[in-house]
Amino acid sequence: MRRLLPTIAVAAVCLFGAPTALATTQTAHGGTVTATFTFEGKVPNFRGLHLTISRAGAVVYNQPVVAKFCGKLCWPGPLVGRRSAVQVVDLEHTGDPDIVLNLYSGGAHCCTLVQIFSFDAAANTYVKTERVFGDPDARIVNLRHDGRFEFLTADDAFAYRFTDYAASGLPIEILTYANGRFTDVTRSYPRLVAKDAAVWLKAFNGMARAGYPDSVGVIAAWAADEDLLGHSKLVTRYLAHQARAGHLNAPVGAGGAKFVAQLQKFLRRRGYLR
């Protein structure tokens, strides 16, 4: 499902004059564009995050990394998978690649941030767009193997919405980026949505032996996926049946028919249910 992205070189070197500090340099290339991301420290004490972008060897962007969500206190991301935090990718399919910088706000599991830098020829510099994805990771993928890239993530609006985070289900979300905006294209990938729905339904059914003690989070994600697929009547029937059977439970918050009513209202507001 992934397409190989431009080669990313990651190197760590000791910072001269400060033997206890570790400076890390991550560099990504795409065509004549080079992005260099540097920072010092390690979890949980990162500092000095900085991004430099050059075109054909000439530096056109050279700034400290600052985010609206975490200011200058962001961490380089992602924290797992040994992926570089910086990528050079033609997200907009224009032939002029964008720079993608992955950041993390710190904390147990939140939040993932992505900054995208697009070239402004008139100003001869890069313009930043920022999005907070929340709890889930956001991976750049090429789902149709056509050179057009998507962000594969999950809908963070479901985190904590009906139960605690650990028991929440976050349905699949697929976004594209162009002209400074993200567009939700999840409905264009029904096979992936159906696969995700099957995962949540399996998780729900797996709670049967324990008596469905905290089941509303995962069934909410299943309902969202099925509504995206146009199966709203199926969702309504199934939820009503499970409510009557006493299978829709939450340790805190609504369960049963009251949960179903809240869920349907939420899904309509979020655009899943039409």
Show Cβ contacts of residue 254 under 8 Å, excluding neighbours closer than 6 positions: 162, 216, 262
* 90 has pLDDT over 50: yes
Report residue 81's pLDDT band, with 50, 70 and 90 as the boundaries.
Answer: low
Is residue 228 pLDDT above 70, yes or no? Answer: yes
- Per the CB < 8 A criterion, the answer to whether 182 and 151 are in contact is yes
Rg (CA), the chain: 21
Mean residue pLDDT across the chain? 91
CB atoms within 10 A of CB 108: 6
Quick: pLDDT tens for 200-224. 999 999 999 999 999 999 999 999 9
Are 250 and 216 in contact, with CB atoms under 8 Å apart? yes
Question: How is residue 59 written in tokens?
Answer: 């530096």
Check whether 227 has a pLDDT greater than 80.
yes
Mean pLDDT of the 10-33 span: 65
pLDDT exceeds cutoff 60 at 170: yes
Phi-psi sector, 171: left (phi>0), alpha (psi -120 to 50), beta: beta
Token pair, residue 261, equals 């009513």
- Comparing CA positions, the residue from 114, 156, 115, 163 lying closest to residue 135 is 156
Report yes or no: 131 and 200 within 8 Å, Cβ to Cβ.
no
> Which residue would you say has higher pLDDT here, 10 or 126?
126
What pLDDT does 93 receive? 93
Q: What was the pLDDT predicted at 79?
A: 60
